Amino acid sequence: MIAFNVGGDGVGVLRSLAAQLSLPALDLAELERQGDVTIYRFRTIHLAQTDPRAFPHHASRADQLVLPEEATLDGVRRAAGAIVAHIGTRTWRDPDPSDDTPAPAGLMGDYRPIADDYEPIAAPLLDLALASFALLRYAAADSAALDGADQARSLGLDILRDFTRLDPLLHAERDDPVTTALLVYALCEVSDLAGHHELGALLESALMRLRESVTTKGTVHRLSRGPEAPQINAHEQALVTGAMARATSRGLPGSPSLAIVQAAIEKTWDMTPEPERVALLPWIGWAEADLASGQVGPAERSTPLDRLWPLLEASRIHSGPETAPDLVGGLALAAAEPGSPPRATAQCLRPAAWMASHLADWSGIDEAAHEAALEAHRALVRFIMQLTVREGSEWRFRSPQRCLGGIRAAPWDVDQPLAAQAMGLLTLAETIRTLEEPPGPPDAPDSPDRPGGP
């Protein structure tokens, strides 16, 4: 690496290099006209040492470093609005509008920038329901400054309407309890269901399927997919449980009873070994919060959730001489290989969504501890923003407009899964709520408006 500085004179740097290599010096404008030469410009500060003891940092795939001071409320709003716009570029276009056959619903699937295609072409219904929930949750945030809120609301509602007119061949996929649970989450964000008759009927049928999918002991199972359907795993159990808790806490007609919800929560904890319980987030966290909001009287109870926050804090990547600056703030949820530094990926979005909403409910926590937790969360938000494709870095991709605003699977993995876009938008929506809401007194009573979520 060059060990001298020519005062920001890029032309001077290239001429010096050319002289050292005994190459003839050419004017940059003339050089750029050659067909086999491409010239890029980027901020060289991101190649500098960030610590006196550290090596000069080179971000993966020539990315630009998101600085900590960029993780402000306005920065979060802009990042969330960019994700909404990115999801909007995936809107499905019926290849043959004249065909009477119902078109697949909603959006295209995971985007692969290297191949510049979507896989699958039509996103699975599970991902569509999750995207609809994220879009409507973001649009429902009480903020006049949200970028793309109208687009998010319109697209979220359009996806839900598509669920009411699916091809009969897709009904079994729609009726799976996990997809159904995400539909319930999304429909809970529609404030005027009375004005959307078809969506009201969709919610009624979804709640009926949820009641049928859970036993009195809280076990969730698949009935509609046949005897060979895969068993419900712990994460899916948590998701379905969370949807039941959300509907019950809202007092929706046809919701499961409070006793069933509590049994399902206990079953979810019991079926999951303690080291694996982080994988239950955000759903189990939101289920516990919604259960608490639905209790009559001060029903204090200690839950395994109390032990998850310290585990997540222990997984946080901090700045240091051996830490890549673009990973700082992320959660290293997978064990690193021996001799390798910890690495964070988009997998940390699921616990991050719960952590953001949990910070809104700080009763019993002193103000200094709450502010420290918020500062740590801002570092996590900085990492999430690092995962996005931002203006100025989109030139690295074959189709820049398809990538712009989207969340990558990891700093070194340019794939953009649809589920990651939805979870990232959910996390930023909850963060906006938390940062906008002024903290109340530590002993403020719980209310339905502060269950660690809505």
pLDDT in tens, 223-281: 755 556 678 999 999 999 999 999 999 999 999 999 999 999 999 999 999 989 999 99
Question: Regarding predicted confidence, which is higher, 32 or 290?
Answer: 290
Q: Is residue 71 part of a domain?
A: yes
Beta carbons within 8 Å of 247's beta carbon, 6+ residues apart? 184, 188, 207, 210, 255, 256
Please, which pLDDT band fits residue 449 given cuts at 50, 70 and 90?
very low
Q: Over the stretch 362-405, which tens digit does the pLDDT of each residue have?
A: 655 678 888 899 999 999 999 999 999 998 877 788 899 999 99
Residue 107 pLDDT greater than 70, yes or no: yes
User: In this predicted structure, what is the pLDDT of residue 216?
Assistant: 92
Domain contains 11:
no
Tokens for 413, please give them: 């993995």
| pLDDT above 90: residue 306 | no
Has residue 13 been placed in a domain?
no
- Asked whether residue 19 is assigned to any structural domain, the reply reads no
Does pLDDT of 202 surpass 90? yes
Per-residue pLDDT at 2 exceeds 50: no
Give the CATH number of the domain where residue 403 resides.
1.50.10.10
Please state, in angstroms and as integers, the Cα–Cα distance from residue 8 to each residue in 1, 12, 46, 415, following that order: 16, 9, 14, 34
pLDDT digits (tens, 9 = 90+) for 432-447: 999 886 544 444 434 3
pLDDT at 11: 63
d(CA 190, CA 155): 12
Q: What is the pLDDT of residues 108-142, one digit of tens each?
A: 999 999 999 999 999 999 999 999 999 999 999 86
Q: Is residue 187 part of a domain?
A: yes
Provide the mean pLDDT of the chain. 83
The verdict on residue 279 lying in a domain is yes
- Work out how many domains the chain is built from and give that number: 1
Determine the Cα–Cα distance for residues 78 and 81; give it in Å rounded to an integer.
Answer: 5
Q: Is residue 327 domain-resident?
A: yes
Q: Cβ distance 166 to 105 under 8 Å?
A: yes
Q: What confidence score (pLDDT) does residue 30 get?
A: 74
Radius of gyration of the chain, Cα coordinates, nearest whole angstrom: 24
347, 419, 423, 409: which is closest to 112 by C-alpha? Answer: 409
| Interval 92-99 mean pLDDT | 61
Q: What is the pLDDT averaged over residues 63-84?
A: 92
User: Which structural domain range is residue 133 located in?
Assistant: 40-436
Is the pLDDT score of 348 beyond 90? yes
